Structures are given as structure tokens and as C-alpha cells.
Amino acid sequence: MSADLSSAFKAFFRKDAAYPKFKTKHRSKKSFRIPQKGKVDVNNSRIYVQGIGWVKAVIHRKPIGKLKNITVTVNPSGTVYASCLFDDGLEAPVPELPEKPKVIGIDLNLERLAVCSDGREYENPRTLKQYEKRLRHLQKLLSKKKKGSENWKKFKTEIAVLHEKIANIRKDSIHKMTKKIVCDSQAEVIVIEDLNVSGMVKNHKLSKHIQDASFFEIRRQLEYKSLFYGKTLMTADRFFASSRTCHICGWHNAELTLSDREWECKVCHTRQDRDRNAALNLESFGLKALAGDAGEVKPLEMPTVDGRAAMHLRSMASVNEEKDHGYSMEAFRLA
């Protein structure tokens, strides 16, 4: 659609995405969009698709508002989803910070997926590792089949089903975690690090585990959920030494390695848990940035903060355009 092409080029010129690629049946996602003429019948569990008619669907919740369009997507596993966009007429809440807002810092890592400054921890489900043996077995069987044969298609579909299951388990755990962080923490401001994920995956020993952890998906969900619930999300600069700096005295541990999960400060002699210490430093970063002292967050011998946290604090309202316009997306699986 022309609207999609326009938004794709705008994202390209903002340097938020690569140059738009032409859609082909070989490499593109199989989907099409129906503007305005679709219908959703909740009572009879069906969706009207223009040109096809009424199709049975698994509708997990009752939608609210006026239907704007329907996007039908076919996954490699063969499952079909209809993503329905509704306009509920409500505007997204504007974040209002009190004089002394509650700030929570979150450190993302591989050992424990998220460690919060308030003491809460969320374990890494390591979803891919749970099904890796089964996935390897199916891929080995696929390699022995003639490409294009019926048995080849059978195993190809079975592998796609397993990949979809892994992705769904991963997304479910991340959704539950981010919902608890945004809603249950009662914090008005959430602070995370601007992780260089593309650079992290170049470590061939950890790249598979880094991709399985889905750091970008965690940040994406925190962004739109913070906006939806009227919270503020801040990001500390990726050069902010949250793990190496003692949150008590500010001493910088230049000798800290990735394998060191605990270390002792040579100034105040406090025993630090690496992830917990990083979360507390991120909380301190947010408090100082809100007070206007972003330039004094790091020790003098370290690179100074470039003011990005304050910029994010002002520009967070435009993160999710659909939420700004009061839209909600419902995805239903077609039976």
C-alpha cells in the first residue's frame, strides 16, 4: 500500500531502517491488508474477509472501537492470523512526573534476563536451549530429503512449527516480565541501557544466547507499554559504565571482565553483585538526569554523558504512533 511505502521511506530517511525492498513471494512475509471493509463477529467467532467471505477465527477477547483495517498474515508453519486495527477514540495518557518520582533501574543480561534496582529479578527462560536438540534432529532429517519433495515439505513445515513455538514461548515470557515491570513496580520512570546489540552478537560464543534473550524486543515492549500506561522510559548512553562503577562511592573498576559476576570495591570494600550494582547505577542515573545533572552522572575519568537521557525524556511521547492516535491492535487466529 502507498501508506506503507511512505512510512518505509520516512523511516529510511530518518535512518531508522534500511532501504525498502520490493515485495516478492520468495523472500517477503505473506500478508495482505483489507482497508475498512472487514467485519468482526465476536458472537459467532468469525471474521469477514473481503473477496473470501466469513472465515472462522479464534477470537481471544472482545475488541473495542471502530474497525479501521484487517491485515491477514500466513506464517511459515501454516497458521493464519488476522490483525485487526481498532480506533477506540481514546488518547494515550500524557506522562506526568511528580516532584519526587519513583525511579527504577533495569539491567539486562544473559545470566538473569532482568535485574531491577528494587530487588526483583527475572530469570532467563533460554527457550532456544530447551528445544535445540529437537530442532537439530529435525534439521538433520530435512537435509537428507530431496528438495521440493513431499517429505521435504513435511519436515520443512514441522521445523517452522517448532520455530513458531519457540518464538511464542519467548514472547510470552517477555510480555509477562515487561507488564510486571511497568505496572507492578509502581515506578513513574524506568531506566535502561542503550545496548549495542548488533555489536554484541559479533561475539560468536555468545551470539546465539544474545539473540535468544531478545534485548531489542524487551526494549520495544517497555517503550510502548510505558507510553500506554503513562510512564516515562529513559535510556542511559551505551558507554555508561553501570557494571564497573560502585554505586556507593563511585569507584571505577577498570579490570572487571564479563565472567566476573561479583567484585569488591577497593575504596569502600563493599562486595558488589554485578547486575544488581548496574541496576542501582541506572536508577541513580535517572534521578540525576531528572534533576538536570545528567553531565555529572559518571566519574570524571570516564566519558561524560551526552545528554541523551534528557532527550529521550522529552521525545518519548512519539515512540508509538498508533498509541498516540488511540489505536489498538487485536490479532486473531483464523481457524
Half-sphere exposure in the Cβ direction for 9 (13 Å, CA): 6
Strand runs labelled E in the chain:
30-35, 39-41, 46-49, 53-58, 66-74, 80-87, 103-108, 114-116, 121-122, 189-193, 232-236, 262-264, 271-273, 327-334
- Which residue is catalytic, options 188, 193, 283, 330? 193
- Burial group, residue 91, by CB count within 10 angstroms (0-12, 13-18, 19+): exposed
Is the C-alpha dihedral spanning 240, 243, 244, 248 positive or negative?
positive
Distance separating alpha carbons of residues 45 and 332, to the nearest angstrom: 10
Q: What is the largest CA-CA distance in the chain?
A: 72
- Helix H or strand E encompassing 171: helix 150-179
Distance separating alpha carbons of residues 274 and 2, to the nearest angstrom: 49
- Which residue is catalytic, options 107, 188, 223, 237? 107
- Which residue is catalytic, options 188, 237, 275, 330? 275
Scan for cell 511497568, then name that residue. Answer: 182
Q: Check if 194 is active-site.
A: no
End-to-end CA distance of the chain: 26
Strand runs labelled E in 146-244:
189-193, 232-236
Nearest to 236 by CA among 276, 180, 301, 190: 190
Nearest to 325 by CA among 116, 18, 91, 128: 91
Q: Check if 193 is active-site.
A: yes
Q: Check if 107 is active-site.
A: yes
Which residues belong to the active site? 107, 193, 275
